[in-house]
Amino acid sequence: MMDIDLRSTMDIQITALEWMLKDDKYYKYYPDADEDACLEQLPDGTLKVTPEKYYGRVMDEFDYSLDRVYSGKSPILLRLQEFYKRCWVLKLQDPYISLIVTILTQNKTADSARKTFHRLQHHYKGIDVYKMAGADKGELERLIKTSGPYKADYIIRSSKEIIERYKGSLEWMRDVPTREAREALLSLTGVGPKTADCVLLFSLGHDVVPVDTHICRVTQRLGLSCASGDSEAAKRRVKEDLERKEMIPGMAHLLIINLGRDYCKAVIPLHHICPVEDICPKRGVERAEKPLETS
């Protein structure tokens, strides 16, 4: 039986956003069966899948745990790797699906993107590049309203571009140099650097580090990057520092995301319980916050 922390696993990677979260349970729509599978973690730690017939199919989506993502010398990353060893990487999924999910996350929460994607899947009985290229714009705007109705234009236009330029598939990007695949993704409507890198890493197998505001904040505090702030220039510097200077594998950035979500928070970092508190340089943090005393 695999030892998995379901919450950590499902909160931090694009492929996991195909699962909608509701009442501490995760639901994924399988178009071929026109049915949802439900995944939950029981109090004893075991994973339950309903209907049970989907158990093997669901569990096959878990690939390997985070204690296998890094083999370098950074004491901080080695500590985090052990701390988050019950968090798993999900297997590579359809790059087009990951593209749509990532677009839905732009400037929105993961929870919003999950719900919107699940709604799209049910409405269209499974989405693909041809369905989205031919979608009615007004209808699509209503379906994705909570994740940004303006993204309907991105989805329709980028889908048409994929059909016109690449015969309706992004699969060819697995076998070309990363730079070529990244440039092709960036040429699509609505696709920026973070979106392109998420698709490259989580669905196409390219070893890149997606960088956003949260990654900027945490890597700077950890001393893994010399950048400051979260401007586009800072993000480019963070990406260069992580990929070239620190030689961090793409999937290892999940360790940094986990730390930022759980402890290295933007306003009040939880230094008093942080797993790397004693070895973190706390770059840019004026003082370590202490827990409030209660009377």
State the pLDDT at residue 294: 43
Q: What's the pLDDT at 284?
A: 84
Q: Find, among 116, 92, 75, 74, the residue nearest to 16 by Cα.
A: 92
Hey, what are 210's tokens? Answer: 């997606």
85 has pLDDT over 70:
yes
State the pLDDT confidence band at 21, using cuts at 50, 70 and 90: very high
pTM for the full predicted model = 0.91
Sorting pLDDT into bands at 50, 70 and 90, what band is 2? confident
pLDDT for residue 83 is more than 90:
yes
Confidence of residue 254 (pLDDT cuts 50, 70, 90): very high
Query: Could you check whether the bond before residue 51 is cis, i.e. omega within 30 degrees of 0?
Result: yes
Contact 160, 96 (CB under 8 A): no
Whether 99 and 93 have beta carbons less than 8 Å apart is answered as no
pLDDT at 286: 65
pLDDT value of position 217: 94
Q: Which residue has the higher pLDDT, 12 or 121?
A: 121
pLDDT confidence of residue 236: 93
- Rounded to whole angstroms, the Cα distance separating 233 from 105 reads 22
**pLDDT tens track for 214-251:** 999 999 999 999 999 889 999 999 999 999 999 999 99
pLDDT digits (tens, 9 = 90+) for 159-205: 999 999 999 999 999 999 999 999 999 999 999 999 999 999 999 99
Please tell me the predicted confidence (pLDDT) of residue 125. Answer: 97
Q: Percentage of the chain with pLDDT > 90?
A: 91
Q: How far apart are CA 253 and CA 243, in angstroms?
A: 10
**What pLDDT is recorded for position 293?**
43
C-alpha torsion angle, residues 133, 141, 21, 209 (rounded to 10):
60
Q: Please determine, for residue 292, whether its predicted confidence score (pLDDT) is greater than 50.
A: no
CA–CA dist 97, 89 (Å, integer):
17
C-alpha triplet 6, 7, 11: angle, nearest 5°: 115
Task: Please tell me the class of the 95-202 domain.
Answer: mainly alpha
In this prediction, residue 68 carries a pLDDT of: 95
Q: What is the structure's pLDDT at 285? A: 83
pLDDT of residue 295: 38
Domain ranges of the chain: 6-90, 95-202, 213-273
pLDDT tens profile 34-75: 999 999 999 999 999 999 999 999 999 999 999 999 999 999
Angstrom distance (rounded) from CA 27 to CA 237: 37
Write out pLDDT tens, residues 266-291. 999 999 999 999 999 999 886 544 54
The pLDDT tens digits for 86-120 are 999 999 989 999 999 999 999 998 999 999 999 99
